[in-house]
Each structure stands twice: as C-alpha cells, then as structure tokens.
C-alpha cells in the first residue's frame, strides 16, 4: 500500500459524493447510487465501522449502513437532510497526512467543499482508517468535523 492508492481512494470518495448529488438533481436513482457508494467505500458489509459524520449533533455516530445512508441522503434520523444532496460542485483535498504500516493504513487531512452554484466553501478535517478487503481498501473508521 502506498500514498498513491490512498489518493486514488480519496478521489473516488470525493467523486462519489458529488455524483450522488448530481443524480439527485437530475431526478435519478440517487438512493441506489448512494448505497453502492457506501458499499464501495465503507467496510459495513465486511466488519464493524465507526463513522462520525461532519454535521451531526443529536445522534453523533452512524455506525451501520442504514444510518450512514440516512446521513448521506436523508432517512430515519430527523437531523439528516442529505449531506450528499447539498449538492456539492467540487470537493478539493487541501491537506493530506498518511500513516502506512504493516497492519494500519490511515489518512488525515482537510477537504474544501464547495456547494453547487454557490461561492462559499466549507473546510472539513477528516480522519480515515482503512481495512483491506481483497485488493481494495475500505473505510473502517471515519471521523470528520468542520474547521472553524
């Protein structure tokens, strides 16, 4: 595992979040797309996952696929209004720090989120710990919060 694989994963994650919003705007099957996004990027189907999304207050954690889906596209949790449905025009990786050891792969950095057709941006700090699933890697721990 190397930093290039981590950067490729982060690009896939960013593009996936943007794609969910695009499909939503076009009236497409965004929930199906979001479910596939979660299966591809998070290890919910393989192991336990710890997920603290960026904008949660009442129910802080989304540690199963149903609750994670609610965060991304809205669902059973009342505070969830669909993070991916903002929608986002761009997500830029601003800073990346990595930790690559024999049994531990981690990434910590900042992402700048720009909403569709708006000028303001939101800077978010994230930490991802990954697990290997076959030749792929998936998120096992995700913690993110806005940078004030």
Domain interval for residue 55 = 3-146
The average pLDDT across 76-103 equals 95
Q: What is the CATH number of the domain that holds 44?
A: 3.10.450.50
Residue-wise pLDDT for 21-70, tens only, equals: 999 999 999 999 999 999 999 999 999 999 999 999 999 999 999 999 99
Query: How many domains does the structure of the chain reveal?
Result: 1
Answer whether 13's CB lies under 8 Å from 38's CB. no
The CA-based dihedral angle spanning residues 71, 66, 20, 50, taken in that order and rounded to the nearest 10 degrees = 60
Residue-wise pLDDT for 92-114, tens only, equals: 999 999 999 988 899 999 999 99
């Amino acid at each position: 595992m190397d930093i290039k694989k981590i950067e490729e994963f982060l690009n896939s994650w960013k593009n996936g979040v943007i794609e969910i919003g695009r499909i939503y705007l076009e009236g497409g099957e965004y929930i199906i797309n979001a479910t596939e996004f979660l299966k591809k990027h998070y290890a919910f189907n393989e192991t336990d996952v710890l997920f603290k999304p960026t904008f949660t207050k009442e129910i802080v954690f989304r540690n199963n696929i149903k609750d994670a889906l609610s965060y991304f596209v809205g669902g059973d949790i009342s505070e969830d209004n669909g993070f991916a449905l903002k929608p986002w025009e761009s997500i830029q990786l601003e800073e990346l720090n990595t930790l690559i050891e024999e049994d531990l792969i981690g990434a910590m950095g900042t992402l700048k989120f720009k909403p569709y057709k708006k000028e303001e941006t939101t800077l978010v700090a994230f930490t991802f710990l990954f697990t290997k699933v076959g030749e792929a890697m998936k998120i096992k721990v995700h913690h993110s919060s806005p940078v004030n």
